[in-house]
Amino acid sequence: MRSQDYDRLFLSPPHLGRHELNYVSKAIEDNWVAPVGPNLDGFERDICEFTGAWYCVALTSGTAAIHLGLRLLGVGPGDEVLCPSFTFVATANPILYLGATPVFIDSEAETWNLCPERLREALEARKHQNRLPKALIIVHLYGMPCRLREILALAAEFGVPILEDAAEALGSRYEGQPLGSFGDVGVFSFNGNKILTTSGGGALVTNSAEWARKARFWATQAKDDAPYYQHSELGYNYRLSNVLAGIGRGQMELLEDRVKKRREIYAWYRQHLAAIPGLSFGPIEPAGSHSNRWLTCLLLNPIETAITPEQLRLHLETHNIESRPLWKPLHLQPLFATVPSYGGEVCTHLFTRGLCLPSGSAMTEVDLQRVAGAIHDLLMPK
């Protein structure tokens, strides 16, 4: 059959139901459509209850949350912020917003996240130069917990605060504790492709009442307490709307089911593609962790197969199946050509070998068989 004869299988589409409609309809009936209202308050409470964080500020994007979080940590012009190279550009862009410089750290091969050994190397080198970073950003890539025990210990040893980018990791846990609750500031994304979506949105979580108050203040144009519009600080239009927060409230009711389904999809792929030479799956869960498996990712070993990830991606496209390369490391991006970097070989290697497969929580057995069949056709021709 031709590719146009199949419905498109997307990488990670939104998965909505009646739960969301109930909250959205109530917001419209009550005329609570502005960036305030009971859905917004309720969504923030739901996130706090789930993560264990004391305070939550719902925002227009995860990027906005990183921006405000770094500002809360005091990042400004001339500062340095340590950041994984293997992540989406939105992790690092807010560093530039604030006039600071990112310093990129390589991954380790199991979790694909920040390498503690490279992190120590960077911290010791920056300390020797008398310019310890203002902050450290850690990322839980593809929903996989990083090696938190080692990384938290290093940050404490050198006195560097942590912004925890859990944009892809809502619902994941490390030693029983939800991700996003380990850093001085935690960040989530609710973009349309995430495990929980508000169509577009994000959140900042913290245990500091003052930081939460400050984040809300900055996110609503930093309006001073006056009857007229007076502004003494720079602010932004970053607050999530009450309507979109209603979508989030409905999605939160289904989050545990969504995590269960994504993990089942990962297990299905592993079982049905295990016999293909040169194909493996990653990243690997560290001991005591529970990943939401936001996206299922495979690796192709060039020693065992001549097929490249790009050839496989293009082949899947002929079947109207969306797949996507792993994140291109930031130290390889033209935008960051002059930025300091520690290592880079591991994440570069992963980038050249990896591909993300369709992983949406609404996928059926037929959908999974279609993806697996197309992969078998290319990698194990009859």
- Burial of residue 257 (number of CB atoms within 10 Å: 0-12, 13-18, 19+): exposed
Whether the CA torsion 133, 148, 158, 164 is positive or negative: it is: positive
The CA distance from 23 to 252, in Å, is 12
Distance of CA 7 to the CA centre of its chain: 27
**Whether 223 is catalytic:** no
* Structural tokens at position 240: 């999530």
C-alpha separations of 138 from 46, 167, 184, 246, 319 in Å: 24, 11, 11, 29, 36
- H or E element: which one contains 203? strand 202-206
Q: In this structure, how many other beta carbons lie within 10 angstroms of the beta carbon of residue 51?
A: 21
> Buried b / exposed e across 14-30, counting CB within 10 Å, b at 16+?
bbbeeebeebbebbeee
Choice among 194, 214, 223, 382 that is catalytic: 194
Distance of CA 231 to the CA centre of its chain: 33
Query: In 146-241, which ranges are continuous DSSP H helix?
Result: 148-158, 209-219
State the catalytic residues: 194
